[in-house]
Structure 1
């Protein structure tokens, strides 16, 4: 631990962390740097988490980042990027030599930070410069110019906090609707949410989708799936226990949801212990 920065080796990769500034904490699920001790190509499958992802690339770019069932392989290499909320699996290929900082953002944190309607990023992975403009490339260049991780975090913290201060304020009703869904792991009817926030269901769907990126119904589905993944991979629950706990009709329903949202089975997810939404291929 140096200057509050800690490094943990995970396989051939180092994970670099530092305590988050208080001003960022409400908007983040994770915030860490990564660099490879041994450069080797890799592929991971990302599954829906109900979170947006932002990557500041300091080394080799991804070869491709694409939806699992997309017909075309990809639009080419992609460096620093942002991924909106997904409702299906995504493949990421990297040639090796990764060095980057990766953030998982709450949907409303991403809405404030990026300053665009989140529906524009739904099921998409785009270059960060396409959202933030030249500022994104300038930030990555300044961070790549130093190998001091404390300085890198300082630079990124300043940009994030500045953008959050001037970003759009989410509607209180949307914030409350998201809290209700997240706290219930998706197990709450949309009609009840609309009644609690005082909006019609149609108006809730429109405003919620603008600021979250998915409809309340799809968000509930993703949150239930994410809770099931956590129970299987981190709590050691059996499929039958997950079925009962998460409100699936039966194990066939559980299996269908995992096929649709992750392109795999509950058993494989349990064995792989997905970390940060990533399943090694």
Structure 2
């Protein structure tokens, strides 16, 4: 366990540590140079090591998870033959449109960074389709130097210093990464801004490309096709509305662009491997649905699940 400087200042602001259920959670204001590419940046460790198993659901983001202690037992993508990772520590997860099962023996300590799809494209520097629905060892994506960085982060006993090291590495990598196409960037902004409601033909017309060319370039840089991305974005909006408790399933179906409630249910089963009702009952932060009975496992799951 690393306690570090609870309210110390370093680089971009004060480090804050708070306990949330079975986790200690560590945050600091994001470096200005990273903000355009990020959606979440948090460190955490378990207050009491407890094995857990969770279902992870698509978020519309790509993830870099740096393990500083015990590795995952397995990350297994549902609906994909041979989709299990085996034991895996620090990893990269690309864009997803189906759920995965994540198991951990307990004793987790990690830093989880979530990127916009195009932020991930710039950071990873490869066609994002190569990472779709996969959990890949960090060295296989970012090279041997990533392994050395993980070792340095694990050996550093102060969270402010850890964030400084990781900030510097991310900024350097992003500074040399490929520039996303402005048309793909605009297409993603249109699609995400509408929560998947804009027709693909309308997006293609807006950016001045044919649908076929848009699909090819979009998939290369985002990792999912525009249609698959729209499904995930509609699903995420429905999850948010379900969590607020402010609308019925019928109303959510209409607002989010599903044909009817039956269509909503089918999409939840395809994308999350569960039903809207079970998703609400689980009430897991950031889309993780606990599968084990441990109270601590549900809290650990929320931080591990992007």
Fold match by TM threshold 0.5: yes
1:240 pairs with 2:250: yes
> Which one of 101, 105, 126 corresponds to residue 111 of structure 2?
101
CA distance in 2, matches of 1:243, 1:99: 38
RMSD of aligned residue pairs (Cα, Å): 1.2
Normalization by structure 1: what TM-score?
Answer: 0.97
Please list the CA deviations of residues 198-227 of structure 1 after superposition, one character each: whole Å capped at 9, or x if unmatched: 000000000000000011111111100011
CA distance in 1, matches of 2:85, 2:218: 30
1:194 pairs with 2:200: no
SS at match of 1:100: strand
Aligned to 1:272: 282
CA 1:235–1:29: 2 relative to 1, 3 Å: farther
**Is contact 1:233–1:271 with CA below 8 Å preserved after alignment?**
no
The number of equivalent residue pairs is: 281
Structure 1 stretches of at least 4 aligned residues deviating more than 6 Å after TM superposition = none
Normalization by structure 2: what TM-score?
Answer: 0.89
> Which one of 149, 167, 174 corresponds to residue 164 of structure 1?
174
Aligned to 2:125: 115
Shift of 1:237: 3.0
Please list the CA deviations of residues 233-268 of structure 1 after superposition, one character each: whole Å capped at 9, or x if unmatched: 245432122112101111111100001100101011
**Is contact 2:60–2:117 with CA below 8 Å preserved after alignment?**
yes
Q: What is the correspondence of 1:1-281 to structure 2 with a 5 Å cutoff?
A: 1-3=7-9, 4-72=14-82, 74-281=84-291
Gaps of 5+ in 2: 1-6, 292-306
